[in-house]
Amino acid sequence: MNFLDTLCILFIILQFFISGCIFHSIFINNFKINDLVIIPRLLIFGIFFNVVYLQVWHLFLPVNITCAVLLHTSQLFFVLFHKKTFQYFKIFKSLSLYSYFFLLLFLIWISVLTNSPLLPSDSGLYHLPIIKWNSSYPLVKGLGNLSIDYGTNSNLFLLISLTKNYPFYLNFLWGFNGL
């Protein structure tokens, strides 16, 4: 188990939560702090928000470090200057000790999974090349003519391309698949 992988996975979960708070504050704007499903809902909204951002970004530019810096700068701006940020983070005060314990177990489990020496059997065929294409180029017309696998524009591959830019995070393929 690698401590840096655990921190990166925690960072990914936190940035999904913050993106979900941004989405929630723009489009829904009301919640109850004792709602049991608010945290999973915000995480799903955050994944949705990041996918929409990456799809629009990837139409014109590659998913590289500039994309990651712009996304995280907007998240940091939201956390520091939005008036309802404190209400969103107050949710964590209402969680029990068992919830934090299970979150810690989840992080340890995903961290152990990220250090597997085996890659998926087809990762060299299309997983890694598509992630490399996403990180290096904007949306390439006709890429599916090389292989049908290259023609799919998977949201998962865009999210993995984003996390590939994080420093010190070498097991990005396993960690994101685990999440």
Q: What is the pTM of this model?
A: 0.81
* pLDDT score recorded for residue 49: 93
- Cα separation, 80 vs 76, in Å, equals 6
* pLDDT score recorded for residue 3: 73
* pLDDT score recorded for residue 125: 61
* pLDDT score recorded for residue 52: 92
As a dihedral over the C-alpha atoms of residue 165, residue 171, residue 172, residue 175, rounded to 10 degrees, the angle is: -140
- Cα separation, 8 vs 51, in Å, equals 19
- Cα separation, 86 vs 107, in Å, equals 24
Provide the residue-wise pLDDT of the chain in tens; the chain has 179 residues: 567 777 777 888 888 989 998 898 888 877 666 666 778 888 889 999 999 999 999 889 998 889 988 999 999 998 888 877 777 777 777 777 887 888 788 877 777 766 665 555 655 566 777 777 788 888 877 777 777 777 776 777 888 888 877 766 666 666 666 66
40 by Cβ neighbours in 10 Å (0-12 / 13-18 / 19+) ranks as exposed
CA atoms within 13 A on the CB side of 154: 16
